[in-house]
Amino acid sequence: MAIRLTRERKERGMSQFELARITGIHPSDISKLESGRYPCHDSWRRRIVEALDWPADKADELFREE
Residue 2 has pLDDT above 80, yes or no: no
Q: What is the pLDDT of residues 6-57, one digit of tens each?
A: 999 999 999 999 999 999 999 999 999 999 888 888 999 999 999 999 999 9
4-62 homologous superfamily: lambda repressor-like DNA-binding domains (1.10.260.40)
Distance CA 46, CA 40 (A): 10
Please report the pLDDT score of residue 1 as a whole number: 59
Report angle CA 61, 65, 66 to the nearest 5 degrees: 95
pLDDT at 23: 97
